[in-house]
Amino acid sequence: GAGVSQSPSNKVTEKGKDVELRCDPISGHTALYWYRQSLGQGLEFLIYFQGNSAPDKSGLPSDRFSAERTGGSVSTLTIQRTQQEDSAVYLCASRPDRGGSPLHFGNGTRLTVT
């Protein structure tokens, strides 16, 4: 079946512009995660959605970052007034329940801020 889909796969933007990154999770997966991965580094947790509960935003690095999940499915990560340090790969993952099951990852969006 279809996996987690992220778009665009690559995004180059100028410093100061806003960007939107999209994630289509696997159908029926109630939990959705966003992570950020800088070159050669581990995954930095950003935000986590679980069903209709309030999202866990504890990993968002600044108020320039926000995320929505509409209808319990598609999610959009928005970065306002992008900075060069925002350059990274943004990974989305989903899983079917609250815990105890593996994450399914998309291939990520590579963001480059010039």
**Binding status of residue 42 toward another protein by CB under 8 A:** yes
Q: Is 71 helix (H, G, I), strand (E, B) or coil?
A: helix
Kindly tell me which residue out of 48, 69, 86, 94 binds another protein, with binding defined by CB under 8 A.
48
Q: Which of residues 57-76 bind another protein (CB under 8 A)?
A: 58
**Binding status of residue 93 toward another protein by CB under 8 A:** yes
Q: How many residues bind another protein (CB under 8 A)?
A: 27
Alpha-carbon distances, residue 8 vs 42, 55, 84 (angstroms) = 21, 23, 18
Binding piece for another protein, criterion CB under 8 A, among 11-19, 21-29, 69-77, 103-111: 103-111
Kindly tell me which residue out of 22, 43, 76, 96 binds another protein, with binding defined by CB under 8 A.
43
Binding piece for another protein, criterion CB under 8 A, among 19-27, 60-68, 75-83, 102-110: 102-110
Place of tokens 């815990």: 99
**Binding status of residue 41 toward another protein by CB under 8 A:** yes
Question: 37-69: buried (b, 16+ CB within 10 Å) or exposed (e) per residue?
Answer: eeeeeeeeebbbbbeeeebeeeebeeeebebeb
Alpha-carbon distances, residue 58 vs 17, 48, 92, 101, 113 (angstroms) = 24, 9, 16, 22, 24
Q: Smallest distance, Å, CB 3 to another protein?
A: 9
